[in-house]
Amino acid sequence: MDLAYLYKALLRKKWIIIFSAIVGLGIGVAVSLLSHKTYRSAAQYSTGLIQTHKVSLTLSEILDVNQVDSRFNNIIETFRSPTVMGMLAYGITLHDLESPRPFRRLTEKQKKDSSYRKVDLEKVKGILREKITDMQLLSTYDPEEKKAWDLIALYGYDEFDLLKKLSVERIPYTDYLNISFSSENPELSAFVVNAIGVKFKEFFTFLTNTRTQESLGKLDSLASSKRKQVDSLRKVYEDFRAKIGTPNIGDAATAAMAGVQELTSALTGEQSRYNTFNSQLNSVNDQLSTLNSTPTTSQHIENNNDEILSLREKNKELSAQQAQRGGNDPAIQAKIDDNNRKIVALQSTTLGNGGNNNLQKLADKKDDLQKRKLELIADISATKQNIDLYKSRLDEFSKKAYSGGGAEAIASALLNDLNAAQKDLDKYNNSIFASQDLEVAPDFNFKQTLIGQPPLQPETVHKKLIVAISGLSMLFISCFLILILEFLDTSIRTPSFFYNQTKLKLLTAISKIDLQKKQLKDYFEAASHSGRETSSNLFIENLRKLRFELESSGKKAILITSLKPKEGKTTILESLARAFSMSKKKTLIIDANFSNNSLTRDFDARPTLESFSLDSQDSAIDKIWSITTLTNISNTDIIGCTEGNYTPSEILPKNNLFSNISKITQHYDFILIEGAALNHHADSKELSKFVDGIITVFSSNSVIHEIDKESIHFLKSSTGNKFVGAILNNVNKEFNDF
């Protein structure tokens, strides 16, 4: 199927394509005229991602540039999260319920809706205010909250409707976000782009504030523990200085031995803590590795619960008590772990967004593990320093204990220990001081840099573009459908398709004519009075080529048949007779189609075929002329038959016309015999042994099936050299050359 054929196929259906394009243009005009005016407002926000401040042991942090895109995606998803969009929807609904100038007014039809008639507006206002304050979403399982949700949907402020018209995009290679919203009310558009930033910041502050307080509580606990260590070292140093008031070598050795005992005990304790911290750090790393393999998103939850905050405050107090007791009290640690389990259980009951619960749990657990990892690293570092310090001091004290003297050296070592502990305490205090000045949203400094204004003009409706796109779309769709239908069409509609499917010799392709508007004889009469190059004469020219092929074949008695009925063999036979008449050839038509004797009826011929029988004493030509009927075609006679359910061998007598066909050919140039369809009748097969040539007529609308292939095989293999060729009938003139 080449491009030229496809072009012709489209050209043949040009009026359908043109009509489809006109319909598309009409649709485009209707859409552009009926579309509502929309107003788009835009606001701009600075995220401040490059100004990262977190509660940590260090006062500075290097921003990982590779994480910037991920953070921006998280921020955009947070803007579009159910919580932020829910708080925004509640705020807009409250505005319309309370303001004398609401953004939207319900129509009378909407006011008759049950969502409006059955609702208590004052109760709804109270519910919405409470949800905004508590940062919680409406529950559709609560009957009263379900009514509020239905009212929001009636106003068109639900999450899904708002998201359809909301756009949150990052300005490439910058620290800014552009937020735009379009609606039928310019003030509503401006309200949304300004209010969504406030709701986002409130939600983000809500999530991060609790975690920041927990980190500060841990720093307080570490600082308290280190402060007690400093006080303990200071007391040891002062007591030792008081003890070595006199430089007595014996006293110094005794003091050194006491120092060795204290340092050995302290070293053993620090090593035990070091091993414990290392084991806990390995466990935390394993859990983080597992969590990192689980994809998480920036889904957010609602965990504003007084009981959770109360449990966290208790954990802070317990951590301080544990630090006072040396940092390794199993009873206190058990209480802390029990409180943590309660917090997790309470958080799971306040999530409010069923599909986000597991993701949020993973995110919270990952944050807790990261904080725990930092704490363990700090504890391990401090413990290792203490171990190294105790070992070095233990060596010095051991030497002095067994060698005597060295009191000043011991005092100097104790002072160094005291100074190192004091430096650690100062580091913790500085971190706490810096953390207290952090903004409530510690991940970035979020600010609105451009306030959204109510637009003065509606959005430009590109009417011409809409009409053009609509028309072109229908044009392309109609062309596409036509081409698809052409690909799906398996009919033998062109000469090339015919040969590919049948492998039969094609004598000619007969162009399609309209016999409803014009009789067959009129085509031949018109052909004699018009130019040969006109398109109306293509049918006649095809018949002239067929006439030449038959004259060149040397065949005189020719059987014209088809594979299936209504392929056009009667029309072809009559047309061929007229073509022979034009060349002054004498032709005899024999109607042997007993299943449908249309030739007999068309020419009003006598049905004498069945009664003809030639005896030895009869004159063949005289008897033949006695059964023929003159036709309106010059030099053409016809012998008719009676229609019936029988075959030639069953109805024709001995010495019938076909047995004497050779005698008839002496008086006629061509004998054209019509036989019944090969697929359904045996008539043509019985007649094939009497004739010189066989021609098969195919309609271009036909599809070759398995039964057709059997008849084609008969023509190729069982007729010898009698098969002259095939005629492809009813071909569209556009496809006559393919």
The secondary structure of 470-524, three-state, reads: HHHHHHHHHHHHHHHHHHHCCCCCCHHHHHHHHCCCEEEEEECCCCCCCCHHHHH
Instruction: Please report which confidence band the pLDDT of residue 456 belongs to, taking 50, 70 and 90 as the band edges.
Output: confident
Give the per-residue pLDDT at 439. Answer: 44
56-65, 77-86, 532-541: the lowest-pLDDT one: 56-65
Contact 270, 386 (CB under 8 A): yes
Which residues share a beta bridge with 181? 41, 166
Instruction: Please report which confidence band the pLDDT of residue 319 belongs to, taking 50, 70 and 90 as the band edges.
Output: confident
Quick one: CA torsion of 200, 201, 203, 206, rounded to 10 degrees?
170
The percentage of the chain sitting over the pLDDT mark of 90, rounded to a whole number, equals 24
Give the per-residue pLDDT at 608. Answer: 92
Contact 464, 48 (CB under 8 A): no
Give the pLDDT mean for 360-371: 72
140-149, 211-220, 550-559: the lowest-pLDDT one: 211-220
Edge-to-edge strands, sheet with 176-183: 166-170, 176-183, 39-46, 447-450
Domain with CATH 3.40.50.300 in the chain: 490-735
490-735 under CATH 3.90.1150.10, yes or no: no
67-71, 453-457, 605-609: the lowest-pLDDT one: 67-71
Instruction: Please report which confidence band the pLDDT of residue 215 belongs to, taking 50, 70 and 90 as the band edges.
Output: low
pLDDT averaged over every residue in the chain = 80
Contact 218, 371 (CB under 8 A): yes
108-117, 180-189, 238-247: the lowest-pLDDT one: 238-247
pLDDT of 538 over the 50 cut: yes
- The vertex-180 CA angle with 175 and 185, nearest 5°, equals 155
Greater confidence (637 vs 245) lies with 637
Give the per-residue pLDDT at 685. Answer: 93
**Beta-sheet strands, E only, within 406-452:** 447-450
Give the per-residue pLDDT at 461. Answer: 64
Tokens representing 209 are 């504030």
Q: Which amino acid appears at position 9 of this protein?
A: A
Angstrom CA distances, 718 to 506, 549, 678, 685, stand at: 19, 22, 13, 9
Coil, strand or helix at 116: helix
Instruction: Please report which confidence band the pLDDT of residue 438 belongs to, taking 50, 70 and 90 as the band edges.
Output: very low
pLDDT of 404 over the 90 cut: no
- Look at the block and give the residue holding tokens 């782009």: 193
Greater confidence (515 vs 367) lies with 515
**Beta-sheet strands, E only, within 557-645:** 557-562, 587-591, 629-630, 636-639
Look at the alpha carbons of 464, 468, 471, 473 in this order and tell me if their dihedral is positive or negative. negative
Q: Which amino acid appears at position 690 of this protein?
A: F
Contact 733, 535 (CB under 8 A): yes
How far is the C-alpha of 76 from the C-alpha of 69, rounded, in Å? 11
Give the per-residue pLDDT at 403. Answer: 53
Instruction: Please report which confidence band the pLDDT of residue 548 belongs to, taking 50, 70 and 90 as the band edges.
Output: very high
Give the per-residue pLDDT at 355. Answer: 42
pLDDT of 293 over the 70 cut: no
The DSSP symbol for 653 reads: -
Give the pLDDT mean for 446-475: 83
pLDDT of 165 over the 60 cut: yes
Give the per-residue pLDDT at 264. Answer: 79
314-318, 470-474, 642-646: the lowest-pLDDT one: 314-318
pLDDT of 535 over the 60 cut: no
Among 287-296, 378-387, 410-419, top mean pLDDT goes to 378-387
53-67, 119-133, 388-402: the lowest-pLDDT one: 53-67
Instruction: Please report which confidence band the pLDDT of residue 545 belongs to, taking 50, 70 and 90 as the band edges.
Output: very high
Quick one: CA torsion of 129, 133, 135, 136, rounded to 10 degrees?
-50
| Phi-psi category of residue 676: left, alpha or beta, with phi > 0 → left and psi -120 to 50 → alpha | beta
Contact 692, 557 (CB under 8 A): yes
215-219, 264-268, 361-365: the lowest-pLDDT one: 215-219
Helix 538-553 / helix 520-527 crossing angle, nearest 10 deg: 90
pLDDT of 52 over the 70 cut: no
pLDDT of 226 over the 90 cut: no
Give the pLDDT mean for 236-259: 64
Give the per-residue pLDDT at 519. Answer: 85
How far is the C-alpha of 666 from the C-alpha of 698, rounded, in Å? 31
94-103, 300-309, 325-334, 456-465: the lowest-pLDDT one: 300-309
**609: how many CB neighbours lie within 10 A of its CB?**
24
pLDDT of 189 over the 60 cut: yes
57-61, 131-135, 549-553, 604-608: the lowest-pLDDT one: 57-61
Interstrand relation of 176-183 and 39-46 (parallel, antiparallel or unpaired):
antiparallel
How far is the C-alpha of 666 from the C-alpha of 591, rounded, in Å? 20
pLDDT tens for 486-526 read 888 888 888 888 888 899 999 999 988 888 888 888 888 77
Helix 569-582 / helix 538-553 crossing angle, nearest 10 deg: 80
Long-range contacts, stretch 104-111, CB < 8 angstroms, 24+ apart: 104/155, 104/156, 104/185, 104/188, 106/154, 106/155, 110/154
Instruction: Please report which confidence band the pLDDT of residue 342 belongs to, taking 50, 70 and 90 as the band edges.
Output: confident
From the list 592, 576, 604, the residue with the least C-alpha distance to 520 is 576
Coil, strand or helix at 559: strand
pLDDT of 607 over the 50 cut: yes
Query: How large is the greatest C-alpha to C-alpha distance in the chain, in angstroms?
Result: 174
Give the per-residue pLDDT at 216. Answer: 58
Give the pLDDT mean for 171-180: 87
Give the per-residue pLDDT at 245. Answer: 56
Angstrom CA distances, 651 to 609, 610, 631, 641, stand at: 10, 6, 25, 11
Give the per-residue pLDDT at 300. Answer: 42
How far is the C-alpha of 162 from the C-alpha of 167, rounded, in Å? 10
Give the per-residue pLDDT at 368. Answer: 78
pLDDT of 622 over the 60 cut: yes
pLDDT of 572 over the 90 cut: yes
Contact 406, 252 (CB under 8 A): yes
